[in-house]
Amino acid sequence: MVINVYYGGRGLIDDPCLYVCDKIIQVFDELHVTVRRYNLYEEKNSISMLPKTLKEADAIILASSLEWFGVGGLMLQFLDSCWLYGDKKRMSGMYMMPVVTATTYGEDEAMCFLTRAWKMLGGYVCPGIGAYVEDNTDFELNGPISNRIETIAEDLYRTVNQRRTAFPSSEYVIVRDVDKRTSIPLTPQESEQLSEYVSNDTYVKKQKEDIEELSHMFTEMLGNTRTSNENDIMKDFRNHFIPKEDFSASYRIELTDKDTVLIIEIAGRDLKLYYGDKQDTDVSAKTTAGVMNDIIAGKVTFQRAFMSGSISAKGNFKTLRMFDEVFQFIK
C-alpha cells in the first residue's frame, strides 16, 4: 500500500499540522505502509508536475495549515494542477483524507473545501482531521488527541485495504458534465508532458518572449498600415488645396473611431497638416474615418455632412463653410 502526503503549509517549526502529519506517518510505518511525503513549499517551482506522483498511490492525504484564511496558495496551486494535468481516470475512486489545523477561525470551511475539491476530481473522501490549535504545546502533549489521530490514521488504512465503498454523491454527476466542457482534450500522457513544460521556467520564459515578439511585430504592421492611411489622407488634402489670399484658419478634426486628431492650419498659400492635438482652433469637429473618406472621395461636402449630423462641430461657422472652398474634393 502506498499513501502520499501533500503538505501545503510553510514548514514552520511550530506548525501543528506538521505534528499531525508526523503522527500519521508514524502509524503507517508501524503498519508497513509506504508513505511518500511532498512538502509543497519545497516543490513550489514544480507543483504542476506533482499530479503524476498520484499514479502509484492508493490514497492521499491533503494537509493544510490555516493561519489566516483558506487553505493557502500552494495547496490551491496543487489542486489546480490536478484538475488541469492530472489523470482523471486514475484519481477517480482514489481515497483522500483531509487534514486541517487552524490557528485562527475556519477549519471546518477548509475541510469542506478540500472535500469538495477532491470530489470534483472524482475521488472518494475519508473522515479526516480538522482542529483548532490555540497552544501548540498543549495540543502535542494532549494524550486523547494523540490517540484520536492514531485512530483516524488506522481507519484510513482499513478503508484503503478493504476498498470500502463510498456513498454516491450528486457532485460526481455535476462534475462529470462540467468536465466535458472544461477539460483539456489531451491524453494523460500529453497532459503530463504539458505540466512539465509549464514547470520549466526556461520554456515558459521563451514562450513569453515569442508572444511579445509576435505582438510587437503585429503592432508594427498595424502601425505601418495606420501611418500609411494617415499619410494618404494628408496627401489628398494637399492635392485638393485651393489657397485663398488673406484667408487664415485652423481646423481640428477628431476621427473618433481611429482615436486620431488631424490638425489643419492655413495661412494664405501656406498649408500645414499634422496629427496631434491643438485646442485653440477656429473650428473643432468630430466625425468618423468613413465620413472623412466620403468627403475626400467627393461623395459629400464638409458642409453637407455637418448639416446632416455626420459631423459635429463648434467654433466659427463662417470658417467652417470656407472648408469646402479651400479643399475642393468635388469636381
Task: Please say if the pLDDT value at position 225 is more than 60.
Answer: no
Cell triple for 327: 479643399
Residue 215, domain member (yes or no)? no
Q: How many domains does the chain have?
A: 2
Cβ distance 250 to 281 under 8 Å? yes
Is 106 found in the same domain as 19? yes
Is 150 found in the same domain as 254? no
Cell triple for 49: 508536475
φ, ψ for residue 174, nearest 5 deg: -60, -45
DSSP 167: P
Beta-bridge mates of residue 249: 266
Q: Which residues contact 206 (CB under 8 A, 6 or more apart)?
A: none
Provide the pLDDT for residue 295: 92
Is 28 found in the same domain as 98? yes
Provide the pLDDT for residue 203: 60
Residue 212 confidence class, pLDDT cut points 50, 70, 90: confident
Choose between 223 and 99: higher pLDDT: 99
Is 171 found in the same domain as 29? yes
Longest Cα–Cα distance of the chain, Å, equals 106
Provide the pLDDT for residue 197: 59
Q: Which strand ranges, in their side-by-side order, compose the sheet holding 260-267?
A: 270-275, 260-267, 248-255, 283-287, 312-315
Residue 61 confidence class, pLDDT cut points 50, 70, 90: very high
Q: What is the domain-level CATH number for residue 298?
A: 3.30.1050.10
Task: Please say if the pLDDT value at position 221 is more than 80.
Answer: no
How large is the average pLDDT for residues 230-251?
A: 87
* Mean pLDDT across the chain: 86
Residue 199, domain member (yes or no)? no
Q: Look up cell 492525504; give the residue.
A: 61
Cell triple for 6: 501533500
Provide the pLDDT for residue 50: 93
Percent of the chain whose predicted confidence (pLDDT) is above 70: 83
How large is the average pLDDT for residues 268-280?
A: 90
Task: Please say if the pLDDT value at position 173 is more than 80.
Answer: no
Among the candidates 184, 203, 219, a domain finishes at 184
CA 191 to chain centroid: 19
SS3 assignment, position 262:
strand
Provide the pLDDT for residue 179: 59
Provide the pLDDT for residue 89: 87
Which structural domain, as residue segments, surrounds residue 144? 2-184
Is 247 found in the same domain as 176? no
Cβ distance 187 to 194 under 8 Å? no
Task: Please say if the pLDDT value at position 35 is more than 60.
Answer: yes
Task: Please say if the pLDDT value at position 282 is more than 60.
Answer: yes
Residue 217, domain member (yes or no)? no
Percent of the chain whose predicted confidence (pLDDT) is above 90: 58
SS3 assignment, position 91:
helix
Is 153 found in the same domain as 296? no
Is 148 found in the same domain as 252? no
SS3 assignment, position 122:
coil
Is 172 found in the same domain as 44? yes
Provide the pLDDT for residue 174: 65
SS3 assignment, position 230:
helix
Residue 198, domain member (yes or no)? no
Among the candidates 152, 184, 216, a domain finishes at 184
Is 63 found in the same domain as 150? yes
Q: What is the domain-level CATH number for residue 128?
A: 3.40.50.360
Task: Please say if the pLDDT value at position 206 is more than 80.
Answer: no
Provide the pLDDT for residue 198: 59
Residue 148, domain member (yes or no)? yes
Among the candidates 155, 184, 213, a domain finishes at 184
Residue 169 confidence class, pLDDT cut points 50, 70, 90: confident
How large is the average pLDDT for residues 27-46?
A: 93
How open is the CA angle 37-41-47, to the nearest 5 degrees? 80
Residue 331, domain member (yes or no)? no
CA-to-CA dists, residue 225 to 85, 219, 228, 306, 308, angstroms: 42, 10, 5, 28, 30
Other CB atoms within 10 A of residue 113 CB? 20
Is 78 found in the same domain as 17? yes
Residue 212, domain member (yes or no)? no
Task: Please say if the pLDDT value at position 88 is more than 90.
Answer: no
pLDDT one-digit tens code per residue, 105-163: 899 999 999 999 999 888 999 999 999 999 989 999 999 999 999 999 999 999 999 99
The whole-angstrom separation of Cα 224 and Cα 102 is: 59
Residue 189, domain member (yes or no)? no
Is 239 found in the same domain as 96? no
**Is the alpha carbon torsion for 25, 29, 35, 39 positive or negative?**
positive
Task: Please say if the pLDDT value at position 4 is more than 80.
Answer: yes
Is 92 found in the same domain as 157? yes
